[in-house]
Structure 1
Amino acid sequence: MKLLNQSLKYLSISILGIVTVWSVVFYMNMLNEIKGSIDEGLENYKRIIIRKAQVDSSILTKTYFDESFFTLRKIGTDKALGMRDSYIDTEIYMQDADDQAPEPEPVRMLTTAFENNGQYYELKVANSMVEEDDLINELFWDVVWLYILLIAGIMVVNNIVLKKLWKPFYDFLKELKSYRLGSTQKLPATNTQTKEFLDLQQAVSTLLQHSLAAFEQQKEFIGNASHELQTPLAMVTNKLELLFEQDDLKEGTAEKIAEVFQIIERLTRLNKSLLLLSKIDNKQFLDNREISLNDIVRQTVSELEEISSFKALTTTVDEQDKLLINIDPTLANIIVSNLLKNAIFHNAKKGRVAIILSKDTLRVSNTGATEPLDSAKVFNRFHKTEAQVNGTGLGLSIVKAIADLYGFAISYHFDNGIPANHSWRVHRPCAYLMQSF
């Protein structure tokens, strides 16, 4: 979740709590004010009735509610002395002009006791709350709508304000995402006067400058090391070739020179592979374009045809769909070449290599050893099996590094059939979730 949305979420929750508490308190206060006003009217009405009863004794016989909204009845002395004025919300049956029969209506009722000529009477005085209930109901919905409009207004205003406030941050983040060491000349920056954002920009710029300096030093070191190593290797190779041309060379000596020559070739390949890995890790391949792996697969199969024929291998290419990926052409060739070389060099005599291309996946399968490889180590650098003594142990590591660079996934699967089958698949993440071997 974006920081802006998180700010709005917590702000909305806080405002929700505050406004909810305020609405409840406001509603209860208004309700108490209304009932307090009605109770004052009932108290005044009680005093008027008691005074009238002292003058007109016929009032004392009124035992039912009518338009005068009060009733009287005799009670005992003990009960009268124990009574206190009480106010309750209740209902009584009343009949309006448009009612066919009496209906219960909400009222506020005062119950009290008084003495008249030595007799004690219970007095119940009621006041209709029909209008007051309508007022309370209207007040309640007014508070609800006020609450909704207030929340909506605060969220809209804060969304606009916070978006404007955080815009420099998101602009800076966008530039930072597009920044590439060694290729982007200008450091990420944004136009803002906010101190925190300026401090962030300064800290990031300092960090990038240190990283850029370390990157340039590392690149220079790798280039120099590779060049310095390549020169003596070339000199040793030339001297070995001169020794081979001598006529008086003994057979045993020639064999040892040939072994040294193979070691030198392995060192040369290792030097080139390590340099390539370093360039991939440092993201020095930036000539990305849409590449058809179908074309590269056909070309590589043709280039490796002599080696396949020497081992009597059967190679099949199943182009189910056109596989287009956005990648540096050099790295695309390395992926296909390393997978096919791995499938050919570690294949059984008269075995087969099967290549399948779909819309999202390149799959290379080959016959070979009857035991599965260690899937946890197979992509590790310098990992070799006993049959790979002459390899550098970096071919699959390079494929894995390229796949990681472009967000592809690479997987290994072993099928213990007859013959045993080893499969390598490079695929987009979505294809990995939808497909299985």
Structure 2
Amino acid sequence: MGSMSKLLSRTFRFIIGYAVAVLVASVPAYYYLVDAIWQRELTEHNRIVAEGIEHHLSGLRLSRAELEAHLKAWNTIRPEMTMTVADRIRPDSLYNVYRYNTYSKHDREDRFQGLVTYFEREGQVYRLTVETNMEESRETVMALTAVTVLFLAILLVGFVFLNRRLSVRLWRPFYNTLRQIRGFDLSRPEPPSFQDTSITEFRELNDGLSKLIEGNMAAYTQQKHFIENAAHELQTPLAVVQSKLDLLLQDPELTGGQSGAIEEAYRALLRVNRINRNLLMLARIENSQFPDTESVEIGEVAAENLDFSAEFMENKRLTVRFDPKEQLSIPANRTLVEILVSNLLRNAIRYSPADSLLGLSVEGRCFTVTNPGTQPLRSDVVFQRFGRANRDEPGTGLGLAIAAQICARYGWTIAYRFEEKSHIFSVTF
């Protein structure tokens, strides 16, 4: 899976990229367009000047010698507009040239645009050259381009700012819905309350989610009531069956085969009883039937459970390293905390090989139980109901599910990881 990003950021990134590309492409295009327009205007200007000179010359009553004398002086005074004698009339032509400006103080070449035209006066053909310095026009074009780019940049920045502000306002109902969904828990009776919005898409989303959540809550409530009622109803027949098996086991006329079959049925019945009690416990936790709260010291509860489990650990020759580095007291129901610690400890004892080392520690706000193992468990099912870690070992598959439900009840975090050939279960309060 690639890197994740918000929908707003992803779409906005494409918009900004497109805008920047257009801006970058528009700068040279705008410059050359304005420059071309300016050159056309200068060409028109030079042509008007040339036509004006021709018109004025045609109105002067000068002899050819007088005219040539005047032209010689004129060419010296105005080198950018020269007129010389030509042998014949040729088509008009345009040219651009870079050369030093005689009257400029800058030590650089300027760009000139020139028009060469021919006309005839009193039988003599003259060649008229009109040049215009384009340096000022280029500076004007660059100034116009810079101003345009500046305003485009301001427009782009304003667009970014307005888009962010408007996006935050427009998407606020969506993020409110997302926050409500994240905080929703089926075990709580209150459904999420979505913010009313005038945006059609978000309103339809909220309506669809409300219907979906209502259906799930109804199904969850029915399932919870069924499990609770079934567990209660099973208690009496299970007790009757257990008492009958006890009576049968006391019958002196039982054969060895009959006694073995009854003992096997008795062990299966005990497991059903444990499952039934655990299901009742889950139902009570989900129904918040443990409202009492007091300050509970985790290290003290762990030490008590170690004492209760001493016989089981002796049978498997297990060694325990209990390291309460800090004292950790939490506000909670003591019974639930005892069940949480007991289930984690019993799980470690049950699935540890004989002659191995268990570890319990309290550090910071974290309680950790460690036991040896050969391969990691499936972390996606380890805390699910009937998600037993090892099918070959006896167990109901509900101990860790009860521990996870207790943690969810108080907002604690329970986690599993496998490191250095060890199963590590931790609860962060």
| Cα offset, 1:42, TM superposition | 1.3
| Cα offset, 1:236, TM superposition | 1.2
- Structure-1 residue corresponding to 2:425: 426
* 2:93/2:117 contact within 8 Å kept: yes
Q: Which amino acid aligns with 1:219?
A: K
CA offsets, 1:82-132, max 9 Å, x none? x542243x42212447x3x75322333334555678887765432123332
Distance 1:123 1:276, change over 3 A: farther
Match of 1:297 among 302, 306, 309: 302
Match of 1:264 among 269, 274, 279: 269
Asked whether 1:70 is paired with 2:78, we answer no
- Structure-2 residue corresponding to 1:40: 44
- Structure-2 residue corresponding to 1:419: none
Partner SS, residue 167 of structure 2: helix
- Structure-1 residue corresponding to 2:178: 173
Distance 1:349 1:160, change over 3 A: closer
Partner SS, residue 159 of structure 1: helix
Matches within 5 A, 1:264-283: 264-273=269-278
Partner SS, residue 112 of structure 2: strand
Whole-Å separation in 1 of the counterparts to 2:336 and 2:420: 26
Whole-Å separation in 2 of the counterparts to 1:66 and 1:91: 20
Partner SS, residue 171 of structure 2: helix
CA offsets, 1:379-409, max 9 Å, x none? 48245354x2x33355466667888996654
Match of 2:417 among 411, 415, 420: 411
Whole-Å separation in 2 of the counterparts to 1:64 and 1:335: 109
* 2:369/2:426 contact within 8 Å kept: no
| Cα offset, 1:191, TM superposition | 2.6
Q: Which amino acid aligns with 2:219?
A: A
Partner SS, residue 384 of structure 1: coil
* Structure 2, gaps ≥5 residues long: none
Asked whether 1:197 is paired with 2:202, we answer yes
Distance 1:154 1:366, change over 3 A: closer
Partner SS, residue 302 of structure 1: helix
Matches within 5 A, 1:15-54: 16=20, 27-49=31-53
* 2:297/2:328 contact within 8 Å kept: yes
Q: Which amino acid aligns with 1:85?
A: S
* 1:289/1:326 contact within 8 Å kept: yes
- Structure-1 residue corresponding to 2:140: 135
Distance 1:314 1:166, change over 3 A: closer
| Cα offset, 1:249, TM superposition | 5.6
Matches within 5 A, 1:140-151: 140-151=145-156
| Cα offset, 1:135, TM superposition | 1.9
Asked whether 1:340 is paired with 2:320, we answer no
CA offsets, 1:356-394, max 9 Å, x none? 4444865544468xxx246459948245354x2x33355
* 1:62/1:71 contact within 8 Å kept: no
* 2:95/2:115 contact within 8 Å kept: yes
| Cα offset, 1:61, TM superposition | 5.9
Match of 1:381 among 387, 390, 399: 387
Whole-Å separation in 2 of the counterparts to 1:65 and 1:360: 98
- Structure-2 residue corresponding to 1:206: 211
* 1:168/1:192 contact within 8 Å kept: yes
Matches within 5 A, 1:98-117: 99=105, 103-112=108-117
Whole-Å separation in 2 of the counterparts to 1:103 and 1:201: 71
Count matched residues.
409
Q: Which amino acid aligns with 1:234?
A: A
Whole-Å separation in 1 of the counterparts to 2:76 and 2:387: 99
Distance 1:199 1:311, change over 3 A: closer
Q: Which amino acid aligns with 1:199?
A: E
- Structure-2 residue corresponding to 1:93: 100
* Structure 1, gaps ≥5 residues long: 416-422, 430-437
* 1:179/1:188 contact within 8 Å kept: no
| Cα offset, 1:265, TM superposition | 0.8
* 1:63/1:73 contact within 8 Å kept: no
Q: Which amino acid aligns with 2:68?
A: S
Distance 1:321 1:73, change over 3 A: farther
- Structure-1 residue corresponding to 2:396: 392
* 1:410/1:425 contact within 8 Å kept: yes
Alpha-carbon RMSD across the aligned residues, in angstroms, is 4.6
Q: If the length of structure 2 is used for normalisation, what is the TM-score?
A: 0.74
Whole-Å separation in 2 of the counterparts to 1:328 and 1:72: 111
| Cα offset, 1:316, TM superposition | 1.0
* 1:324/1:359 contact within 8 Å kept: no
Partner SS, residue 392 of structure 1: coil
Partner SS, residue 391 of structure 1: coil
Q: Which moved more, 1:231-240 or 1:350-359?
A: 350-359
Q: If the length of structure 1 is used for normalisation, what is the TM-score?
A: 0.72
Distance 1:221 1:105, change over 3 A: same
Q: Which moved more, 1:213-222 or 1:60-69?
A: 60-69
CA offsets, 1:230-259, max 9 Å, x none? 33212212223344566x465735555443
Q: Which amino acid aligns with 2:94?
A: S
Whole-Å separation in 2 of the counterparts to 1:286 and 1:85: 102
Q: Which amino acid aligns with 1:220?
A: H
Q: Which moved more, 1:38-47 or 1:358-367?
A: 358-367
* 1:360/1:427 contact within 8 Å kept: no
